[in-house]
Amino acid sequence: MTDTGTLRILEPSPGVFAYYDGRIPGARLHSAAENWLDDGAYSLGIASYAVVGGNEAIVFDSHISLDHARAVRRHLEERGVSRFTLVLSHWHDDHVAGNAVFADGPIVAHRLTRAALAANRGKLEGGDPPIRPLVMPTEVFDDGLTLTVGGRSIEAMHFTIHSADGVVLRLPNAGLLLAGDVVEDTVTYVSEAAETPKHIAELGRLAALPVRRILPAHGDPDRIAAGGYDAGIVTANRDYLRRLLAGEGRDGTPLSAFVAADVEAGRIGYFEPYEAVHRANLKALAAVGL
Protein backbone atom coordinates (compact mmCIF):
# COMPACT_ATOMS: atom_id res chain seq x y z
CA MET A 1 0.00 0.00 0.00
CA THR A 2 1.24 3.48 -0.89
CA ASP A 3 0.55 6.34 1.51
CA THR A 4 -1.65 9.01 -0.08
CA GLY A 5 -1.75 11.26 2.98
CA THR A 6 0.13 14.05 1.20
CA LEU A 7 -2.13 14.04 -1.88
CA ARG A 8 -3.63 17.48 -2.52
CA ILE A 9 -6.79 17.99 -4.56
CA LEU A 10 -6.79 21.31 -6.40
CA GLU A 11 -9.30 22.90 -8.77
CA PRO A 12 -7.31 25.16 -11.12
CA SER A 13 -10.29 25.72 -13.43
CA PRO A 14 -14.03 25.09 -12.98
CA GLY A 15 -14.67 21.37 -13.38
CA VAL A 16 -10.95 20.60 -13.76
CA PHE A 17 -9.25 18.89 -10.82
CA ALA A 18 -5.55 18.36 -10.19
CA TYR A 19 -4.43 15.51 -7.94
CA TYR A 20 -1.02 16.64 -6.77
CA ASP A 21 1.51 14.80 -4.65
CA GLY A 22 5.16 15.35 -3.81
CA ARG A 23 7.61 18.26 -3.56
CA ILE A 24 7.80 17.63 0.17
CA PRO A 25 11.39 17.92 1.46
CA GLY A 26 12.59 14.75 3.16
CA ALA A 27 9.42 12.77 2.48
CA ARG A 28 9.42 9.39 0.71
CA LEU A 29 6.52 7.07 -0.07
CA HIS A 30 7.97 3.77 -1.23
CA SER A 31 11.37 3.03 0.30
CA ALA A 32 14.71 4.45 1.39
CA ALA A 33 16.42 2.77 -1.56
CA GLU A 34 16.57 4.64 -4.85
CA ASN A 35 13.42 4.02 -6.90
CA TRP A 36 11.47 5.64 -9.73
CA LEU A 37 8.56 6.75 -7.53
CA ASP A 38 10.43 8.57 -4.76
CA ASP A 39 13.44 9.80 -6.69
CA GLY A 40 11.56 10.88 -9.79
CA ALA A 41 7.87 11.68 -9.65
CA TYR A 42 7.44 12.29 -5.93
CA SER A 43 10.58 14.34 -5.39
CA LEU A 44 9.74 16.61 -8.35
CA GLY A 45 6.00 16.70 -7.63
CA ILE A 46 3.36 15.26 -9.94
CA ALA A 47 -0.26 15.84 -10.80
CA SER A 48 -2.81 13.86 -12.72
CA TYR A 49 -5.98 15.65 -13.82
CA ALA A 50 -9.68 15.10 -14.32
CA VAL A 51 -12.21 17.04 -16.36
CA VAL A 52 -15.71 16.56 -14.98
CA GLY A 53 -19.09 17.08 -16.60
CA GLY A 54 -22.20 15.68 -14.92
CA ASN A 55 -21.69 11.99 -14.21
CA GLU A 56 -18.71 11.72 -16.59
CA ALA A 57 -15.00 12.36 -16.17
CA ILE A 58 -11.99 12.25 -18.41
CA VAL A 59 -8.99 11.35 -16.26
CA PHE A 60 -5.62 12.41 -17.66
CA ASP A 61 -3.02 9.92 -16.42
CA SER A 62 -3.54 7.41 -13.64
CA HIS A 63 -0.92 8.70 -11.17
CA ILE A 64 1.99 7.02 -9.40
CA SER A 65 0.31 4.08 -7.66
CA LEU A 66 -2.89 2.08 -7.47
CA ASP A 67 -3.69 3.79 -4.17
CA HIS A 68 -3.31 7.23 -5.74
CA ALA A 69 -5.58 6.19 -8.59
CA ARG A 70 -8.13 4.87 -6.09
CA ALA A 71 -8.04 8.21 -4.26
CA VAL A 72 -8.68 10.03 -7.54
CA ARG A 73 -11.58 7.75 -8.40
CA ARG A 74 -13.04 8.02 -4.89
CA HIS A 75 -13.04 11.82 -5.06
CA LEU A 76 -14.76 11.77 -8.44
CA GLU A 77 -17.35 9.19 -7.37
CA GLU A 78 -18.16 11.36 -4.36
CA ARG A 79 -18.95 14.12 -6.86
CA GLY A 80 -21.38 11.85 -8.69
CA VAL A 81 -19.12 10.55 -11.46
CA SER A 82 -19.97 7.05 -12.64
CA ARG A 83 -18.45 6.99 -16.15
CA PHE A 84 -14.68 7.25 -16.56
CA THR A 85 -12.43 7.58 -19.58
CA LEU A 86 -8.71 7.41 -18.88
CA VAL A 87 -6.40 9.20 -21.32
CA LEU A 88 -2.64 8.59 -21.08
CA SER A 89 -0.15 11.38 -21.75
CA HIS A 90 2.63 8.88 -22.55
CA TRP A 91 3.99 5.50 -21.47
CA HIS A 92 6.31 6.41 -18.56
CA ASP A 93 5.83 4.66 -15.22
CA ASP A 94 4.67 7.65 -13.16
CA HIS A 95 1.75 8.22 -15.56
CA VAL A 96 0.43 4.66 -15.97
CA ALA A 97 0.92 3.05 -12.55
CA GLY A 98 -2.76 3.27 -11.62
CA ASN A 99 -4.27 2.13 -14.94
CA ALA A 100 -5.92 -0.92 -13.39
CA VAL A 101 -8.21 1.28 -11.28
CA PHE A 102 -9.87 2.56 -14.46
CA ALA A 103 -9.92 -0.73 -16.37
CA ASP A 104 -13.73 -0.84 -16.35
CA GLY A 105 -13.86 2.02 -18.86
CA PRO A 106 -12.01 3.07 -22.01
CA ILE A 107 -8.26 3.64 -21.70
CA VAL A 108 -7.25 5.92 -24.56
CA ALA A 109 -3.68 6.50 -25.72
CA HIS A 110 -1.59 7.31 -28.74
CA ARG A 111 -0.72 4.30 -30.88
CA LEU A 112 2.95 4.74 -29.92
CA THR A 113 2.04 4.63 -26.23
CA ARG A 114 0.46 1.21 -26.59
CA ALA A 115 3.50 0.00 -28.53
CA ALA A 116 5.90 1.36 -25.90
CA LEU A 117 3.94 -0.17 -23.04
CA ALA A 118 4.00 -3.54 -24.79
CA ALA A 119 7.74 -3.27 -25.50
CA ASN A 120 8.53 -2.21 -21.91
CA ARG A 121 6.03 -4.41 -20.11
CA GLY A 122 8.68 -6.49 -18.36
CA LYS A 123 10.55 -3.42 -17.18
CA LEU A 124 7.41 -1.76 -15.85
CA GLU A 125 5.97 -4.84 -14.17
CA GLY A 126 9.35 -5.72 -12.67
CA GLY A 127 10.31 -2.21 -11.59
CA ASP A 128 10.74 -0.79 -8.11
CA PRO A 129 7.94 -0.38 -7.28
CA PRO A 130 6.37 -2.80 -9.78
CA ILE A 131 3.42 -1.75 -11.91
CA ARG A 132 1.42 -4.94 -11.74
CA PRO A 133 -0.87 -5.52 -13.40
CA LEU A 134 0.01 -3.23 -16.27
CA VAL A 135 -3.31 -2.59 -18.00
CA MET A 136 -2.99 -1.72 -21.66
CA PRO A 137 -4.90 0.94 -23.61
CA THR A 138 -8.14 -0.22 -25.15
CA GLU A 139 -8.39 2.55 -27.78
CA VAL A 140 -5.63 4.28 -29.74
CA PHE A 141 -5.31 7.26 -32.08
CA ASP A 142 -2.64 8.82 -34.26
CA ASP A 143 -2.59 12.59 -34.84
CA GLY A 144 -5.52 13.62 -32.69
CA LEU A 145 -8.88 12.72 -31.21
CA THR A 146 -11.85 14.78 -30.02
CA LEU A 147 -13.54 13.67 -26.81
CA THR A 148 -16.55 15.09 -25.00
CA VAL A 149 -17.49 15.15 -21.34
CA GLY A 150 -20.69 16.73 -20.12
CA GLY A 151 -21.04 18.52 -23.46
CA ARG A 152 -17.52 19.96 -23.19
CA SER A 153 -15.18 19.33 -26.13
CA ILE A 154 -11.64 18.14 -25.38
CA GLU A 155 -8.96 17.69 -28.01
CA ALA A 156 -6.28 15.03 -27.52
CA MET A 157 -3.24 16.08 -29.56
CA HIS A 158 0.05 14.32 -30.31
CA PHE A 159 3.38 16.10 -29.80
CA THR A 160 6.82 14.50 -30.05
CA ILE A 161 8.18 16.23 -26.96
CA HIS A 162 9.96 14.49 -24.06
CA SER A 163 8.74 11.18 -25.47
CA ALA A 164 7.80 10.13 -29.00
CA ASP A 165 4.26 9.39 -27.86
CA GLY A 166 3.52 12.65 -26.03
CA VAL A 167 -0.16 13.64 -25.75
CA VAL A 168 -1.74 16.85 -24.46
CA LEU A 169 -5.39 17.71 -23.87
CA ARG A 170 -6.72 21.06 -25.04
CA LEU A 171 -9.96 22.48 -23.67
CA PRO A 172 -10.77 25.12 -26.32
CA ASN A 173 -13.62 26.84 -24.49
CA ALA A 174 -11.52 27.28 -21.36
CA GLY A 175 -8.31 28.23 -23.18
CA LEU A 176 -6.64 25.51 -21.14
CA LEU A 177 -3.96 22.93 -21.93
CA LEU A 178 -3.28 19.83 -19.84
CA ALA A 179 0.34 19.33 -20.82
CA GLY A 180 1.53 16.03 -19.36
CA ASP A 181 5.35 16.01 -19.53
CA VAL A 182 5.80 18.11 -22.67
CA VAL A 183 6.75 21.03 -20.39
CA GLU A 184 7.92 21.04 -16.78
CA ASP A 185 8.78 23.56 -14.09
CA THR A 186 11.74 23.95 -13.58
CA VAL A 187 13.05 22.34 -16.80
CA THR A 188 12.09 19.55 -19.18
CA TYR A 189 13.56 16.09 -18.62
CA VAL A 190 15.52 14.76 -21.60
CA SER A 191 14.36 11.15 -21.95
CA GLU A 192 15.09 10.66 -25.68
CA ALA A 193 18.27 12.66 -26.15
CA ALA A 194 18.85 11.92 -29.83
CA GLU A 195 15.42 13.40 -30.65
CA THR A 196 16.05 16.72 -28.90
CA PRO A 197 16.14 18.79 -32.13
CA LYS A 198 12.72 17.34 -32.99
CA HIS A 199 11.46 18.15 -29.50
CA ILE A 200 12.56 21.77 -29.90
CA ALA A 201 10.69 22.07 -33.20
CA GLU A 202 7.61 20.52 -31.65
CA LEU A 203 7.76 22.97 -28.74
CA GLY A 204 7.48 25.66 -31.38
CA ARG A 205 4.32 24.02 -32.68
CA LEU A 206 3.00 23.76 -29.13
CA ALA A 207 3.66 27.46 -28.56
CA ALA A 208 1.37 28.29 -31.47
CA LEU A 209 -1.69 26.72 -29.82
CA PRO A 210 -4.36 29.24 -28.78
CA VAL A 211 -4.27 28.59 -25.03
CA ARG A 212 -4.20 30.98 -22.09
CA ARG A 213 -3.20 28.65 -19.25
CA ILE A 214 -1.07 25.49 -19.10
CA LEU A 215 -1.22 22.78 -16.46
CA PRO A 216 1.85 20.48 -16.49
CA ALA A 217 2.19 17.13 -14.75
CA HIS A 218 5.35 18.32 -12.98
CA GLY A 219 5.09 21.85 -11.67
CA ASP A 220 4.61 24.11 -8.66
CA PRO A 221 1.41 23.16 -6.78
CA ASP A 222 0.70 26.78 -5.85
CA ARG A 223 0.86 27.88 -9.48
CA ILE A 224 -1.28 24.97 -10.55
CA ALA A 225 -3.85 25.78 -7.87
CA ALA A 226 -3.90 29.40 -9.05
CA GLY A 227 -4.79 28.36 -12.60
CA GLY A 228 -1.49 27.25 -14.11
CA TYR A 229 1.21 28.81 -16.27
CA ASP A 230 1.06 31.05 -19.29
CA ALA A 231 2.87 30.37 -22.58
CA GLY A 232 6.12 31.48 -20.97
CA ILE A 233 6.69 27.97 -19.65
CA VAL A 234 6.81 26.67 -23.24
CA THR A 235 9.30 29.40 -24.20
CA ALA A 236 11.45 28.60 -21.18
CA ASN A 237 11.51 24.86 -21.87
CA ARG A 238 12.30 25.38 -25.56
CA ASP A 239 15.05 27.90 -24.90
CA TYR A 240 16.55 25.62 -22.26
CA LEU A 241 16.94 22.81 -24.80
CA ARG A 242 18.26 25.18 -27.45
CA ARG A 243 20.94 26.41 -25.06
CA LEU A 244 21.94 22.86 -24.13
CA LEU A 245 22.37 22.00 -27.82
CA ALA A 246 24.45 25.14 -28.27
CA GLY A 247 26.89 23.81 -25.67
CA GLU A 248 25.87 25.97 -22.74
CA GLY A 249 26.00 24.50 -19.26
CA ARG A 250 28.91 22.18 -19.89
CA ASP A 251 31.12 24.30 -17.65
CA GLY A 252 29.25 23.11 -14.58
CA THR A 253 27.04 26.18 -14.17
CA PRO A 254 24.31 25.23 -11.68
CA LEU A 255 20.75 25.19 -12.91
CA SER A 256 19.86 28.04 -10.56
CA ALA A 257 22.16 30.34 -12.53
CA PHE A 258 21.39 28.74 -15.89
CA VAL A 259 17.67 29.56 -15.70
CA ALA A 260 17.91 32.73 -13.59
CA ALA A 261 16.53 35.00 -16.33
CA ASP A 262 13.46 32.79 -16.86
CA VAL A 263 12.85 32.62 -13.12
CA GLU A 264 13.17 36.38 -12.76
CA ALA A 265 10.72 36.87 -15.63
CA GLY A 266 8.22 34.54 -13.93
CA ARG A 267 8.10 32.06 -16.80
CA ILE A 268 9.16 29.25 -14.46
CA GLY A 269 10.18 28.85 -10.83
CA TYR A 270 13.28 27.25 -9.38
CA PHE A 271 13.08 23.94 -7.53
CA GLU A 272 16.40 22.56 -6.28
CA PRO A 273 15.80 18.84 -7.10
CA TYR A 274 15.88 19.81 -10.78
CA GLU A 275 19.64 20.36 -10.41
CA ALA A 276 19.97 16.56 -10.70
CA VAL A 277 17.69 16.57 -13.77
CA HIS A 278 19.86 19.24 -15.36
CA ARG A 279 23.04 17.21 -14.79
CA ALA A 280 21.35 14.10 -16.18
CA ASN A 281 20.22 16.08 -19.26
CA LEU A 282 23.78 17.21 -19.98
CA LYS A 283 25.06 13.64 -19.68
CA ALA A 284 22.30 12.27 -21.90
CA LEU A 285 23.02 14.76 -24.67
CA ALA A 286 26.76 14.18 -24.44
CA ALA A 287 26.22 10.43 -24.71
CA VAL A 288 24.59 10.88 -28.15
CA GLY A 289 27.06 13.49 -29.33
CA LEU A 290 24.78 16.51 -28.99
pLDDT in tens, the chain (290 residues): 677 889 999 999 999 999 999 999 889 999 999 999 999 999 999 999 999 999 999 999 999 999 999 999 999 999 999 999 999 999 999 999 999 999 999 999 999 999 999 999 999 999 999 999 999 999 999 999 999 999 899 999 999 999 999 999 999 999 999 999 999 999 999 999 999 999 999 999 999 999 999 999 999 999 999 999 999 999 999 999 999 999 999 999 999 999 999 999 999 999 999 999 999 999 999 999 99
Give CA separation, 127 vs 3, 94, 120, 166, 204, in Å: 18, 11, 10, 22, 34
In a domain, 260, yes or no: yes
What letters, b where the CB count within 10 A reaches 16 and e where it falls short, cover 235-259? bbbbbbbeebeeeebeeeeebeebb
In a domain, 79, yes or no: yes
In a domain, 193, yes or no: yes
Residue 156 in contact with residue 167, Cβ under 8 Å?
yes
In a domain, 1, yes or no: no
Total domains present in the chain = 1
The whole domain housing 61 covers 8-287
In a domain, 140, yes or no: yes
For residue 70, the domain's CATH number is 3.60.15.10
pTM of the model: 0.97
In a domain, 3, yes or no: no
Give dist(CA 51, CA 200) in Å, integer: 29
In a domain, 266, yes or no: yes
Of 164, 187, 188, residue with least CA distance to 256:
187
In a domain, 2, yes or no: no
Of 74, 98, 92, 102, residue with least CA distance to 17:
74
